[in-house]
Chain A
Amino acid sequence: MADAQNTRDRHDVVGSRHRRVDGLARLTGEARYTDDIFLPRMAIGKILRSPHAHARIIAIDTSAAENLPGVFAVITGKDMPLPYGIIPWTQDEHALALEKVRYIGDAVAAVAAVDEDTALQALELIEVEYEILPAYLTPESALATGAVKIHEKNKKGNISKHVLLEFGAVNENMRQADLVIEGDYFFQGTTHAAIEPHCAVAEFDSAGHLTVWSATQVPHYLHRELARVLGLPQENIRVIQPNLGGAFGGKSEPFDLEFCVAKLAQKCGRPVKILYTREEVFYAHRGRHPMQMHYETGFDKNGRILAVDTHTILDGGAYSSFGLVTTYYSGQLLTAPYAFASYRFDSTRVFTNKPACGPKRGHGSVQPRFAIEIQLDKAAHALGIDPIELRRRNALPAHTRTVNDLHIRSNGFLECLDRVEQASGWKERYGKLPFGHGLGVAGSTYISGTNYPIYPNDMPQSGVKITIDRSGRVTLYSGASDIGQGSNTMLAVIAAQELGLEVADITVISADTALTPVDLGAYSSRITLMAGTACLQAAKELAAKIRSSVAKKWGCAPENLTLIQHSVRALDDPDRRMPVIEAFALAEAEFGTLCTTGYFETITEGVHGDYRGATIGASPAYSFTAHVAEVRVDAETGLVRVEKIWAAHDCGKALSPVSVEGQIEGSVYMGAAEAVMEEHTTMENGLLAAPSLLDYRIPTALDTPEIEAMIVQSEDPMGPYGAKEAGEGPLHPAIPAIANAIFDAVGVRIDMLPITPEKILAALRVKEAEEKSTVRD
C-alpha cells in the first residue's frame, strides 16, 4: 500500500513540471488569435474618435461617408442609445458617444467598408460639430466649484465614488502611539500594454443569430451586455474568446468595438472586424488609477501597528468602469498581511477628461501597498528595528479575521519573509552595503477571486463539464478565459491528475458561450480557485464512476483503486492493473455516455463582516507575497538599476509550478516597470503624452532585473488541492521593495512614482544641502 502511494506521488500531475496545453501552438505561431479570423465577405470597421477632451456633440453628418464607394454602413450613437458598463449600478458608457465626448479618443461614429483604406477615408468624410467644454485633467480641477459635470446624471458633481470606513478606535490609538509616521504618496497611472491589441469580429447568420469573437477576458459579461445594448435575445448571441495575446485586466469589460462590429454587421449584412491600433489601446486604457495617498500610521515602541488612517484621491478618468470596486479595494485590501489594531480609509474617485482607469493586475491594491510598505520602512528606521523583523512582529496568523473582518484561512506570509531574507543574504548585507547599493523589503496579500459575481445572482460562478470519448481522449469544457495565464493548462492538470492521464490527453474547450458552462471571467485572480474547484468536482465524479465499474469487475472496493499512468490499479496489489481506456469502456457500458459536471458556488458563510461594503474585498482565500529588491543607484546621474528581486509567493499549492514561477516573474517584471519607468500621462490639452510602445516605455530584456521566484505552499482549505492565486499578488511588493532599497542605497525617499533619475538627483541635492547646513549649525 505504501509502495503504491509512493508511485502515486511520483506520478502526480499536480505539482509536476509539465508543458502548457497551448505552449507549442503559441510558440510555433499555430495559435489563432482574433485578428487571424478572416470570414468570407468580411468588411473592415473603423471608429472615429473625438479630438476634444470634453465637448458636446451638436451635429454629425455622415452622408459623405455613406456615399463613398466601398462603404457598407455608418453608425453613430443613435444606433445604440442604451448605456452599458461592467458594474450594473454605474453604467455610464455608450458604444458611440450620444450627446457628449469625455476624453480625447472617445468613440463618436463607426464605419464598415470593403477594406481598411476605404474605412479610413470614410472616417475623414464624417463631419462632427462640437461645442467645446472645459476639460478637467486633474481631480482638483474636476472638483473645483463651478466645474461642469462630466456626467450630467451624476448626483455628486464629478465625484464618481466615495467610501469612508472605520474599524476600531483610530483617533484614540493614534493619540496613544509612540510613533506616528505621516506621508504623502503618489502612484502614477500606468497601463497594461498587452501585446495583442483589442480585436472583435461579428457575424449574423441567416436566422439572425449573432456570433462575436473577441479578445476579451469576460465573455459572459460581454454576452449579457451585447444582448442588452443591441436589443437581441441573449439566446441568439454566441460569444467566443479565441487565444488571447495578453490582457492583464485591460480586456475585462465590454468595449466600443465589440458593440460596433455587431451593429455594423447587422446593418451591412456582412461579417465585420475591428482591430484597434496601438493608439486606440491606449485610449481604451482601464489601467491603474493615479492615486494621491495621504497616510498616517501609528506604532507602539515595539513597532506594532496601532492605527492606520488613509485619505486617497483616485483619478478615475472619463467613465466609471470598475471604479466602484477600485475605490473599495484601495482601502479594503490593505488589512493583511499585517494586523492593524484600528483602521480608517477615506477614498474618493473623481471623474476627469482622460481615458478611463480600471483594473490592472493587482486591481486597486497595488497603489495603497506602495504607500503602506514605505510607511513601515520609515517606522523601522525611526524605531531602529530591522524592516523584516518589524513585518514579522505585525504579521497576522493563519485562520484569523482582519480588522475589516475578512476571513483569512491559510497564511504562508512568515515563510515568504523567511525565504526572501535567506535567499537575499539580508542578515549579512542589509544596511551594510556601500553607498549606492541597497536592499529593500516589502510584503503583500491578494484575493483568490472576489467572493461575489458582479451582478447579484445565486447561480454558480464557474462550471466545468468533462466528457470522455471512446478513444480515451478527455474533453473538458469551461467558460473560463485563458488570457495567457495558463488556466486551460490548470484545468487539464486537475483532470489528468484525477483520471490517471497526462496533460496532453486532455482537450480543453474554453470561453465559448455556446459550448461551455458559464464562468464569470478572468479577473480578480479567481479562476484557479473557482474553475479549479468546479473541475476537481467534475473530475472526481467521473473518476468515481470509473473506479466503481472496475471495482465491480474485480470484486473489490472502489476505494481500493486508483487511476494513475493510464491505468486503473489496486492500491494493495501494484501488479493488478487495467488500461484506463478499458476502464472507460466499462464505465460507459455501465453508466451510459460519460459526462460529468462540477461547479463552484459562492461561499456565503463567514467570508466577511456585516457592514455596508463588507463584501467588496472579500475572497474565499488570500495569497501572500514577500520581495527583497537589490538596487544600484548612480548618485551622479540618479539612474537606478534594479539588479535582482527575490520573490516568495504563497499560492497555497502550485498545481503547475512552471506556470506559477512564470506568473511570479511576469508580475515582478510588471511591478519593477511601474516602479522606475511607466507613466500613462496626458499633456496640457488632454492628449496622451505617449500613446505608442516607443514612447510608453516598458522594460526591454536588458532593463529587467534578475528574478528569483520562490513558491510557498500553505494549502488553503478552500482551494483545489489547497491552491490559491498566483497571477496578481506577486506584483505588489516589487514597487515598495525597490523604493525601500533606494533608501538603503542612497538615503533618499522617493514617494512619488515613477522613480525617475531626476527625482533621485533632486532628492540627493536636497539631502546634500541639508547635511551641509547641519554641519554649519
Chain B
Amino acid sequence: MLRPKPFDHKTCFSLKEALHLLDDSAGGIKILAGGTDLLPNLKHRLYPETGAVLSLRNLPELRGVETQQNELIIGAGERLADLSSHPALVATLPALAATFGTIASPQIRNMATLGGNLCLDTRCRYINQTDFWRQALGGCLKSHGDQCHVVPGGKNCVAAFSGDAAIALIALEAEVELLSVQGQRRIPLVQLYRSNGAAHLTLHPNELLSRIFIPLISGRKLAFRKWSVRRSIDFPLVNLAVRMDSDAGGNVQKLVAVVGVLAAKPKVFPRLADLLESGTLDARGIETIADFLFRKCAPLPNVPYDPGYRKEMLRVQARRALHALLQEDLLSVRQD
C-alpha cells in the first residue's frame, strides 16, 4: 500500500471552529470530507506542503436538503449515495439525482460528499501517479517541474477537471456558498473554477464550501451523459450536461451545454438556442448543436484515451443528451 507523508488529523465540532482552523493554517491544511479524492492524492504525495487535514465529520451544519422559495438547498457534506436517492431531489430534479448516482462507484458514493465532488482536484495522466513515477518523469507544471507533457512548451497546466456533479449543476445555474471567518459569499458555481490546472479553484485557502443552491424553474429540463471505459469506478473521459428552458408553447427559450474533462474549467455554451432555426429542438437542430460542440471542444491527451476519439464521443453524447431532452422521463445515462 502507498504511504502518505505523515500528517496531522484535526477535528472540530462547530463550523466556526473549522473556519478558524482554516484561517490559522495559512493553506497548510486540506479539508477532509469523504476522503475519496484527498486520500489517494495524499498517498501520491501531490501536496508536499500539506501538514494536516481538517475533518468535517462532526459538522451537522453541512448536512441537509431543503426547498426554499423555488430553490433547492443542499448541504455540501451530503453524501452522493444519499443524494442520488433523496426523495426531494428525485421529485424535483430526477436527472440530477441520477447524475449523482453515476459518479464513481457505490462504495465511493457512500463516502464522497457533494462538496468534495465540486472541489475535486484536477486530473492528468502525468500527475495522478506516485511520487516515484513523477520523479522518473522529471516532474511537470503541477508537480515539482516546469514542463508540460500534455502540451509541449505549454506554460499553463491543462490538467482536467473530472467532476460529474459540477457539470450538471452549472447547467442548472447552481450557486455555492463559501464561508470564512471574514464572512460569507455566494457565487455562481461556474465561477468556482478557473483555467489553471495547478490551482483550479477560486476558493480561498481559508474558505469552506458550505451549501449548494439550485433554482427550481418550471419548464426546465436537464440531461447528463458521460463516457468512461468501465461502467463503474472510472473517472469520466467525456461528460456533458444540456439544459433546456421552454415556454408553455414548447418554444425553446434557452438551451445551455456544459462540457467537462477538457481542461481545468468546465466549458459553458450558454446560447445554443440561437442555433435552432425552427425555435424548437428538432432532429436538425440536434445535429447542428452536436456539430457545433464537436467543433468548439478540443480534448487533450491529459487524461487516458485517444483525444480524437474523445472528441468524436463528445458529438455522439451531445446528440444523445439532446435527444433525451425530448423525452418525458429524464434519466442521466452512461455509455449506451
A510 to chain B, nearest CB (A): 27
Asked if A26 is an interface residue, CB under 8 A from chain B, the answer is: no
The chain A residue sitting closest to B44, CB to CB, is A692
Asked if A641 is an interface residue, CB under 8 A from chain B, the answer is: yes
- A-facing residues in B2-60 (Cβ within 8 Å): 2-3, 6
Interface string of A590-632 (1 = CB under 8 A from B): 0000000000000000000000000000000000000000000
Residue contact A691 to B232, C-beta cutoff 8 Å: no
Asked if A116 is an interface residue, CB under 8 A from chain B, the answer is: yes
B331 to chain A, nearest CB (A): 16
11 contacting pairs across A/B (C-beta < 8 A): A49-B132, A51-B136, A120-B3, A278-B2, A634-B336, A639-B336, A685-B136, A694-B234, A695-B304, A700-B233, A702-B231
Q: What would 16 more interface pairs be, CB under 8 Å, given A634-B336, A677-B230?
A: A277-B2, A278-B2, A639-B335, A685-B136, A689-B125, A689-B304, A694-B233, A695-B125, A700-B233, A702-B231, A703-B230, A703-B232, A757-B309, A757-B313, A758-B309, A758-B312
Q: Assuming the A-B contacts A641-B336, A700-B233, A703-B231, are A691 and B129 also in contact, with contact meaning beta carbons closer than 8 angstroms in the complex?
A: yes
The chain B residue sitting closest to A762, CB to CB, is B309
Scoring A275, A691, A692 by chain B CB atoms within 10 A of each residue's CB, the highest score goes to A692
Chain B contacts for A637, CB-based, 8 A: 227, 312-313, 316, 335-336
Chain B contacts for A758, CB-based, 8 A: 306, 308-309, 312
Q: Assuming the A-B contacts A758-B306, A761-B309, are A702 and B133 also in contact, with contact meaning beta carbons closer than 8 angstroms in the complex?
A: no
The chain A residue sitting closest to B149, CB to CB, is A683
Residue contact A700 to B231, C-beta cutoff 8 Å: yes
Chain A contacts for B229, CB-based, 8 A: 677, 697
A48 to chain B, nearest CB (A): 9
B positions within 8 Å CB-CB of A? 1-3, 6, 105, 125, 128-130, 132-133, 135-137, 227, 229-235, 304, 306, 308-309, 312-313, 316, 335-336
Give the total number of A-B pairs whose CB atoms are below 8 A apart.
78
Chain B contacts for A677, CB-based, 8 A: 229-230
Residue contact B133 to A691, C-beta cutoff 8 Å: yes
Residue contact B3 to A687, C-beta cutoff 8 Å: no
Residue contact B3 to A116, C-beta cutoff 8 Å: yes
Chain B contacts for A703, CB-based, 8 A: 230-232
Chain A contacts for B335, CB-based, 8 A: 637, 639
A267 to chain B, nearest CB (A): 23
> CA of A117 to CA of B132 in the docked complex: distance in angstroms?
15
> CA of A117 to CA of B7 in the docked complex: distance in angstroms?
12
Chain A contacts for B309, CB-based, 8 A: 638, 756-758, 761
The chain A residue sitting closest to B227, CB to CB, is A637
Asked if A690 is an interface residue, CB under 8 A from chain B, the answer is: yes
Chain B contacts for A52, CB-based, 8 A: 136
Residue contact B230 to A697, C-beta cutoff 8 Å: yes
B239 to chain A, nearest CB (A): 14
Chain B contacts for A694, CB-based, 8 A: 128, 233-235
Q: Assuming the A-B contacts A279-B132, A637-B316, are A699 and B230 also in contact, with contact meaning beta carbons closer than 8 angstroms in the complex?
A: yes
Residue contact A687 to B306, C-beta cutoff 8 Å: no
Q: Assuming the A-B contacts A117-B3, A277-B1, are A690 and B135 also in contact, with contact meaning beta carbons closer than 8 angstroms in the complex?
A: no
Residue contact A636 to B132, C-beta cutoff 8 Å: no
> CA of A703 to CA of B232 in the docked complex: distance in angstroms?
8
Asked if A260 is an interface residue, CB under 8 A from chain B, the answer is: no
Asked if A104 is an interface residue, CB under 8 A from chain B, the answer is: yes
Residue contact B232 to A702, C-beta cutoff 8 Å: yes
Residue contact A104 to B2, C-beta cutoff 8 Å: no
The chain B residue sitting closest to A275, CB to CB, is B1
Chain B contacts for A120, CB-based, 8 A: 3
> CA of A501 to CA of B81 in the docked complex: distance in angstroms?
49
> CA of A279 to CA of B2 in the docked complex: distance in angstroms?
9
The chain A residue sitting closest to B4, CB to CB, is A117
Chain A contacts for B136, CB-based, 8 A: 51-52, 104, 685, 687
> CA of A110 to CA of B165 in the docked complex: distance in angstroms?
44
Interface string of A739-772 (1 = CB under 8 A from B): 0000000000000000011100100000000000
Residue contact A690 to B230, C-beta cutoff 8 Å: no
A positions within 8 Å CB-CB of B? 49, 51-52, 104, 116-117, 120, 275, 277-279, 634, 636-639, 641, 677, 685, 687-692, 694-695, 697, 699-703, 756-758, 761
Chain A contacts for B137, CB-based, 8 A: 685, 687
> CA of A636 to CA of B135 in the docked complex: distance in angstroms?
40
> CA of A277 to CA of B130 in the docked complex: distance in angstroms?
10
> CA of A685 to CA of B133 in the docked complex: distance in angstroms?
11
> CA of A761 to CA of B229 in the docked complex: distance in angstroms?
15
> CA of A278 to CA of B336 in the docked complex: distance in angstroms?
31
Chain A contacts for B105, CB-based, 8 A: 700
A674 to chain B, nearest CB (A): 14
A46 to chain B, nearest CB (A): 10
> CA of A689 to CA of B137 in the docked complex: distance in angstroms?
11
Residue contact B130 to A51, C-beta cutoff 8 Å: no
B231 to chain A, nearest CB (A): 4
> CA of A257 to CA of B298 in the docked complex: distance in angstroms?
45
> CA of A616 to CA of B171 in the docked complex: distance in angstroms?
63
- Across the A-B interface, give the 4 residue pairs with the lowest CB-CB distance, nearest first: A51-B136, A758-B309, A702-B231, A700-B232
The chain A residue sitting closest to B334, CB to CB, is A702
> CA of A613 to CA of B90 in the docked complex: distance in angstroms?
67
> CA of A279 to CA of B227 in the docked complex: distance in angstroms?
26
Q: Assuming the A-B contacts A639-B335, A761-B312, are A51 and B135 also in contact, with contact meaning beta carbons closer than 8 angstroms in the complex?
A: yes
> CA of A424 to CA of B267 in the docked complex: distance in angstroms?
47
> CA of A694 to CA of B105 in the docked complex: distance in angstroms?
12
> CA of A697 to CA of B105 in the docked complex: distance in angstroms?
14
> CA of A687 to CA of B149 in the docked complex: distance in angstroms?
13
Chain A contacts for B129, CB-based, 8 A: 691-692
Chain A contacts for B306, CB-based, 8 A: 758
Chain A contacts for B227, CB-based, 8 A: 637
Chain A contacts for B308, CB-based, 8 A: 758
> CA of A117 to CA of B229 in the docked complex: distance in angstroms?
35
Q: Assuming the A-B contacts A697-B230, A703-B230, A758-B309, are A51 and B132 also in contact, with contact meaning beta carbons closer than 8 angstroms in the complex?
A: yes
B287 to chain A, nearest CB (A): 13
> CA of A699 to CA of B228 in the docked complex: distance in angstroms?
12
> CA of A694 to CA of B6 in the docked complex: distance in angstroms?
24
Residue contact B231 to A697, C-beta cutoff 8 Å: no
Chain B contacts for A691, CB-based, 8 A: 129-130, 133
Residue contact B304 to A700, C-beta cutoff 8 Å: no
Scoring B105, B129, B136, B313 by chain A CB atoms within 10 A of each residue's CB, the highest score goes to B136
Chain A contacts for B130, CB-based, 8 A: 277, 279, 691
> CA of A277 to CA of B234 in the docked complex: distance in angstroms?
21
> CA of A689 to CA of B125 in the docked complex: distance in angstroms?
8
> CA of A694 to CA of B228 in the docked complex: distance in angstroms?
12
> CA of A638 to CA of B232 in the docked complex: distance in angstroms?
19
B237 to chain A, nearest CB (A): 11
The chain B residue sitting closest to A698, CB to CB, is B230
> CA of A51 to CA of B133 in the docked complex: distance in angstroms?
8
Chain B contacts for A634, CB-based, 8 A: 336
Chain A contacts for B235, CB-based, 8 A: 694
A691 to chain B, nearest CB (A): 7
Chain B contacts for A116, CB-based, 8 A: 3
> CA of A699 to CA of B313 in the docked complex: distance in angstroms?
21
> CA of A639 to CA of B2 in the docked complex: distance in angstroms?
34
Partner of B304, one of A641, A690, A701: A690
The chain B residue sitting closest to A632, CB to CB, is B336
> CA of A27 to CA of B113 in the docked complex: distance in angstroms?
30
The chain A residue sitting closest to B43, CB to CB, is A277
A672 to chain B, nearest CB (A): 13
The chain A residue sitting closest to B235, CB to CB, is A694
> CA of A506 to CA of B110 in the docked complex: distance in angstroms?
42
The chain A residue sitting closest to B304, CB to CB, is A695
Chain A contacts for B230, CB-based, 8 A: 677, 697, 699-700, 702-703
The chain B residue sitting closest to A116, CB to CB, is B3
Chain A contacts for B304, CB-based, 8 A: 689-690, 695
Chain B contacts for A641, CB-based, 8 A: 336
Q: Assuming the A-B contacts A690-B304, A758-B308, are A117 and B133 also in contact, with contact meaning beta carbons closer than 8 angstroms in the complex?
A: no
> CA of A637 to CA of B231 in the docked complex: distance in angstroms?
15
> CA of A275 to CA of B3 in the docked complex: distance in angstroms?
12
